[in-house]
């Protein structure tokens, strides 16, 4: 009996960042790709207006760039062309006290890019591919994943339509419908956790230079942070000389700051240097007009349902944004998936019975090797919440960072800072954490020994010379002598 093969179709639900990149990868493999998106085309002028107050800018780092580079369509250059390099954190301690903390001793940097702009750039590329069809205003309602049938509500009239595909991939974000449909068909482990912190976007306009031209109000090659323990303000640069600021704060603080007077008083007390840069009018307008977003951590396992469905990006692993890795991890999902499809030589064709050779083995392998890495970065992102809010100001943290940096210069292969492994390599996240745990043990031992030795020496000196000093004085001196503050 002849077995004529037919072209295979993949339906990708969600044309956000990860969905678009995945569509490009599948199109390059020769699949028929249909990309369904609940929203209207964001490139339409009226849609751009709707995005105000939701235009988070993202830090793109090596994992994201690597996935863009692999497509070999100039995507990396396109994205970097729309990005501003950030070489260090600028920690704003008091009104006039700032300290710059380089991200890498080798000059590696992360890149600030507007999420909406990045999505538009990817949609432009997707839209030019002959084997991709775009279906905007298609909202997935239900799916029978066993037979690849999806029900969508289409357009403002909400007309119900049914579509089919050989493989359904959900890139429909943290509140994924694809995921909930998969969970009806399989035993998927699922956990979600909201943190108490919410976020609100504020904008800092360009300043004017002496000639009256637009210029940056702050150093543009830094990610600016005002860490204040339980809350913080951050600012990332945009190409147009503005900054997008994000205020992270517990929900109850947002609720209690409910008048312009309270807001200005709060900023005066905590972020006084930011007020003239943002402007009081704009600050009040943005704070009260923009939504207060919640932050969620979601882990799932496995990420595939046989050879029928798969979730990628936030649909599979939403994380709090404090490591700047949500999208980077989602892009890496796409790269890892396609490496595994290559390894199994999965072709863009199906048998009469709809089977695609080796697809199930490939998707099972994807879940087996990659899920643990997505869990690892979700945990790490929560940990970095603490680090960004408060640890960046602690002497112990800075001491350790400094030592790690020095050892990394001397022994670049032996000691690698965690931030470097996460942001400037493509090493699986779980391996990065294992390696960091081993390093931490040794570094903490060295820092602890140095601190005890120095304090002992100082105490001996003060007693011997009958100098009167307090313990905080000794600690302060140790830190200054060591050059750590
Ligand atoms: P999304 O961007 O959420 O896209 C999902 C798409 O699916 C949307 O277009 C949506 O309309 C569509 N959709 C949803 N439901 C349906 C449906 N039923 N039918 C059809 N379509 C549907 N990441 C970084 O890497 N670096 C950073 O610096 C960074 N900073 C962040 C700062 C903040 C404040 C936040 C909140 C996040 C940050 N992230 C960062 C995370 C990053 O934004 C996300 O990880 C990334 O956008 C996820 O992309 P995605 O394509 O998986 O999902």
Q: 133-175, pLDDT tens digit by residue? A: 999 999 999 999 999 999 999 999 999 999 999 999 999 999 9
Q: Dump pLDDT digits (tens) for 44-58.
A: 987 775 665 455 889
- The answer on pLDDT for 463 being more than 50 is yes
- 383 CB burial (10 A radius; 0-12, 13-18, 19+): middle
- Per-residue pLDDT, 481: 39
Tokens in use for 358? Answer: 């080796």
> Is a pLDDT exceeding 70 seen at residue 224?
yes
**Per-residue confidence (pLDDT) for residue 456, from 0 to 100:** 83
Q: Calculate what percentage of the chain has a pLDDT beyond 70.
A: 92
Overall pTM surpassing 0.80 (yes/no):
yes
Positions of E strands within 28-131: 32-36, 57-60, 84-86, 88-92, 98-102, 110-114
For residue 179, pLDDT beyond 90: yes
Residue 255 in 3-state DSSP? helix
Question: Residue 305 and residue 456: Cα distance in Å, rounded?
Answer: 61
484 secondary structure, DSSP code: -
Ligand 1, atom 4, residue with closest C-alpha? 16
Pocket test for ligand 1, best of 12, 17, 54, 318 (most atoms within 8 A of CB): 17
Number of H helices, E strands in the chain: 16, 23
How much distance in Å is there from the Cα of 19 to the middle of ligand 1? 10
* pLDDT value at residue 482: 40
Locate 447 and state its tokens: 């820092």
CA–CA separation, 320 and 297 (whole Å): 6
pLDDT exceeds cutoff 90 at 475? no
Residues with CB under 6 A from ligand 1: 13-19, 36-39, 56, 58-59, 115, 138-140, 171-173, 177, 199, 246, 293, 313-314, 321, 324-328, 330
What average pLDDT does the structure give for the chain?
90
pLDDT at 468: 60
Dump pLDDT digits (tens) for 348-371. 999 998 899 999 999 999 999 999
Closest CA to 130 of 7, 38, 220: 7
pLDDT at 478 over 50: no
The residue-averaged pLDDT of 235-245 equals 96
C-alpha span between 79 and 342 (Å, rounded) = 25
Per the structure block, which two tokens stand in for 10?
A: 């993949």
Q: Using one digit for the tens of pLDDT, what is the confidence trace for 184-219?
A: 999 999 999 999 999 999 999 999 999 999 999 999
**113 token code pair:** 């890019």
């Amino acid at each position: 009996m002849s077995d004529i093969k037919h072209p295979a179709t993949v339906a990708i639900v969600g044309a956000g960042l990860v969905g678009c990149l995945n569509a490009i990868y599948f199109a390059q493999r020769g699949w028929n790709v249909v990309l369904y998106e609940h929203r209207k085309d964001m490139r339409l002028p009226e849609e751009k207006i709707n995005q105000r107050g939701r235009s988070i800018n993202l830090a793109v780092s090596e994992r994201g760039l690597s996935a863009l580079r692999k497509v070999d369509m100039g995507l990396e250059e396109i994205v970097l062309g729309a990005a501003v390099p950030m070489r260090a954190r600028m920690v704003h301690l008091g009104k006039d006290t700032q300290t710059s903390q380089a991200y890498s001793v080798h000059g590696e940097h992360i890149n600030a890019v507007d999420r909406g702009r990045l999505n538009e750039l990817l949609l432009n590329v997707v839209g030019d591919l002959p084997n991709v069809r775009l279906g905007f205003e298609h909202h997935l309602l239900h799916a029978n994943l066993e037979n690849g049938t999806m029900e969508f509500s289409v357009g403002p009239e909400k007309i119900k339509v049914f579509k089919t595909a050989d493989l359904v991939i959900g890139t429909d974000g943290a509140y994924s419908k694809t995921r909930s449909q998969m969970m009806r068909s399989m035993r998927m482990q699922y956990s979600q956790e909201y943190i108490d912190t919410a976020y609100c976007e504020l904008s800092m306009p360009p300043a004017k230079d002496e000639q009256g031209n637009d210029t940056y109000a702050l150093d543009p090659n830094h990610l600016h942070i005002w860490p204040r323990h339980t809350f913080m303000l951050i600012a990332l640069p945009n190409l147009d000389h503005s900054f997008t600021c994000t205020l992270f704060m517990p929900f109850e603080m947002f609720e209690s700051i409910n008048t312009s007077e309270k807001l200005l008083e709060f900023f005066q007390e905590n972020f006084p240097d930011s007020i003239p840069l943002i402007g009081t009018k704009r600050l009040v307008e943005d704070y009260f007009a923009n939504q207060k977003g919640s932050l969620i951590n979601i882990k799932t396992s496995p990420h595939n349902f046989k050879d029928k469905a798969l979730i990628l990006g936030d649909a599979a692993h939403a994380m709090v944004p404090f490591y700047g890795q949500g999208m980077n991890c989602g892009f890496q999902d796409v790269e890892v998936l396609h490496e595994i499809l290559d390894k199994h030589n999965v072709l863009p064709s199906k048998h009469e019975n709809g089977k695609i050779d080796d697809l199930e083995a490939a998707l099972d392998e994807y879940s087996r090797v990659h899920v643990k890495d997505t869990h690892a970065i979700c945990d790490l992102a929560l940990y970095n919440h603490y680090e960004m809010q408060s640890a960046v100001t602690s002497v112990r943290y800075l001491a350790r960072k400094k030592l790690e940096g020095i050892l990394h210069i001397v022994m670049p292969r032996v000691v690698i800072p965690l931030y470097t492994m996460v942001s400037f390599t493509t090493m699986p996240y779980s391996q990065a954490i294992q390696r960091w745990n081993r390093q931490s043990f040794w570094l903490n031992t060295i820092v602890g020994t140095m601190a005890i030795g120095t304090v002992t020496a100082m105490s001996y000196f003060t007693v011997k010379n009958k100098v009167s000093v307090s313990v905080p004085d000794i600690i302060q001196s140790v830190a200054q002598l060591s050059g750590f503050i």
